[in-house]
Every structure is written in C-alpha cells, then in structure tokens.
Amino acid sequence: MIVELPDTTTSQVSKTLVKIREDGGVVALGRVLTLVIATSPGQEEEAIEAANDASREHPMRVIVVSTEPGTETAAVAPRLDAEIRVGGDAGASEVIVLRASGDAARDEESLVMGLLLPDAPVVTWWPGAAPAVPGRSPLGRIAQRRITDASAQPDPQAALHALADSYTPGDADFAWTRLTLWRAQLAAVLDQPPYEPITNVHVSGAIDSPSTTLLGAWLRLQLRCATGVELTAVEDGSHGIHGVQLERASGLVELVRDVPGIATLRQPNQPLHDVALPRRSLRDCLADELRRLDPDELYGEVIAKGLALLDGAQEVTA
C-alpha cells in the first residue's frame, strides 16, 4: 500500500503512520533499527529496493530524504511531499519518502527526528553523493553507523582519501564491504602450510576502483611485507578488483578474476581451483553492514593507517 501526502508536514506524516497501523495492523514493534537514506530526486528507487530486500533480514523503518542540491535557498518555496509505503510495497519494512525543497530541505535532521523509531539505533546511508565529513553532517550526527560509497563519487580515489582524513568510529564504506569475499579467500589460503612470510604483494584492478586500493591497504597493514604493495591499474574494461599475487619463498600464489564472478586460484604444487567471487550487489553490501551496529574497528584501522602506508606503494599501469 502506498499513501501519498502532498505538501505536508512531518507531524502529519507521523499521524498518518499511526492511523495506518491502527487500521491495517501494521506494527513497528518488530523493527530493529531506523535506516535513513539521503539521496537526490530520481535516485530513490534503487536504494529503496535494496533496503526492502535487506529488511527481510533486518526488519526496519526506512526514511528516504530526497533533496535536490541548490533548492534549499530562500528563492525556492518551502515544500514537503511525503509518501508512505507499507505491506508488499515495503518488504519487511515501513518506507517513508520525504521530498523536500526550499527551507524545508535546509534542516534534514529536523525532517527525520520525529519519525525515528524510539529506542532503536539509527543508520544513515548515502548511496550517491556524500558529505565531506559524514560524522558531522546533520544526518550523520544522529546515527550510530554512517555508510558511504566511494565508488559512487565523481573521483573515487580522492573520496577514499577524504574518508581517511575525516574518519570517525561508526563510519563505513561499501568499497570495504565489497572486499569481504576476497579477504576471506586470501585469509583461508594463508592459513594453510607452508607458513612463510610474504615478500611481495601485487594487487591489480580498475584504475578508479577504491576497493582495489583498500585491499592493497589491508594486505600492507596485515602482512607487513618488506617490499610493500604494488598496485597495477588494469585498463581493459575491468571493473573493481582483478587479482592478487603473493610472493613467498615456496612460490607465487595468485587469485585472479578473469571471468566475471569466477576467480582462479593458483598455488605451487597444487591443482588450479575455481573460486566463486561474484561482485556483491547493493542489497548484499547493505545487509552485511546492518549486521553490526558497533564501529568496524578493522575498517577504521585500514582507512586511517593502512591507506597512509600504501601512499608510498609503487603504482604502475598495465
């Protein structure tokens, strides 16, 4: 069910929610958190679809704040249009879409404060453009977790370094979440004999891939290899991470994704192995981040320390 509320107020939206629950039996008692999505007009549906899918694992209230940059000036008439989605149109969540302009868009925190679930944690997600310092932004200040996506920024590498400079415990980025399967596979390989130190690390990927950079930073921080980490930009149309090479005394370990979704693992004196390494969807990344509401300490260490260690790495183009 979708209820349209044109030219309304947050107070009216709250009253309508109560009425919907009383009339239709839709309850908020099972909601475990409030997810605030900050986006722009025309970009809401993809984020809402991902949140609806993730809500089957994490029942929640979803508040979408949609504002067009530049419309928060006094020259634009203040207006708030709202939309409430429940039932089949909202997965296992309640979705409240707020489209604000003029003075109504100036204070995003005030827009959502009256709609937050009581005594429930708040997560703010910027699927597109993110503020310079997420932790100090109006919607970031009210959240326990703040999720950005460096790959969605105009300059992903610059955005990644900006996140490092402004990191606050509770920050997260999908560039790191997309590494989960790669990190798990590499950790499993290094957890098997021979237990030899890594002498050199080579990471290749798309030239604008922040995930490739973070993978190199994680390996540089964890392996402490003497020669550092070499990053290679692959310019053959590849997206994201292409492969990792680890050198040690017994030979070369390679995990390379030449085919979408499938990586080949090569190890000395062992047969080739095909490993499932698909690119993680928006829904998978969001659901993964919502599984923990405490700060991701490893991400914080990699973004704040590992990235700085990687700045001296040799970068070449293949």
pLDDT per residue rounded down to tens, the chain (318 residues) = 889 999 999 999 999 988 988 876 655 456 889 999 999 998 999 999 999 999 999 999 999 999 977 666 656 788 999 999 988 766 768 899 999 988 888 889 999 999 999 999 999 999 999 999 999 999 999 999 999 999 999 999 999 999 999 999 999 999 999 999 999 999 999 999 989 999 999 999 998 899 999 999 999 999 987 678 999 988 765 679 999 999 999 999 999 999 999 999 999 999 999 999 999 999 999 999 999 999 999 999 999 999 998 865 444 333
Residues 19 and 75 grouped into a single domain: yes
Q: Residue 294: inside a domain, yes or no?
A: yes
Q: Residue 170: inside a domain, yes or no?
A: no
What is the domain extent for residue 36? 2-148
Which pLDDT score, from 0 to 100, does residue 29 have? 52
Q: What is the residue-wise DSSP string for 286-298?
A: HHHHHT--S--HH
- The terminus-to-terminus CA distance of the chain in angstroms comes to 52
Residues 7 and 144 grouped into a single domain: yes
- How far apart, in whole angstroms, are the C-alpha atoms of residue 133 and residue 137? 6
Residues 96 and 20 grouped into a single domain: yes
- How far apart, in whole angstroms, are the C-alpha atoms of residue 105 and residue 108? 6
Residues 120 and 196 grouped into a single domain: no
Whether the bond between 138 and the residue before it is cis, its omega within 30 degrees of 0, is no
Residues 234 and 144 grouped into a single domain: no
Residues 239 and 128 grouped into a single domain: no
User: Which residue carries 């979440």 as its tokens?
Assistant: 177
| Overall number of domains in the chain | 2
- How far apart, in whole angstroms, are the C-alpha atoms of residue 87 and residue 81? 21
Which of residues 106, 131, 148 is at a domain's end?
A: 148
Q: In what order do the strands lie in the sheet with 79-85?
A: 2-5, 79-85, 94-101, 60-67, 33-39, 122-125, 145-148, 171-173
Residues 136 and 217 grouped into a single domain: no
- How far apart, in whole angstroms, are the C-alpha atoms of residue 59 and residue 206? 35
Which pLDDT score, from 0 to 100, does residue 77 have? 84
Q: Residue 162: inside a domain, yes or no?
A: no
- How far apart, in whole angstroms, are the C-alpha atoms of residue 58 and residue 287? 7
Residues 83 and 219 grouped into a single domain: no
Which pLDDT score, from 0 to 100, does residue 226 have? 66
Which pLDDT score, from 0 to 100, does residue 318 have? 36
Residues 138 and 197 grouped into a single domain: no
Residues 184 and 143 grouped into a single domain: no
Residues 225 and 126 grouped into a single domain: no
Residues 224 and 119 grouped into a single domain: no
Per DSSP, 268 falls in state T
3-state SS, residue 207:
coil
Which pLDDT score, from 0 to 100, does residue 315 have? 43
The CATH code of the domain that includes 220 is 3.30.360
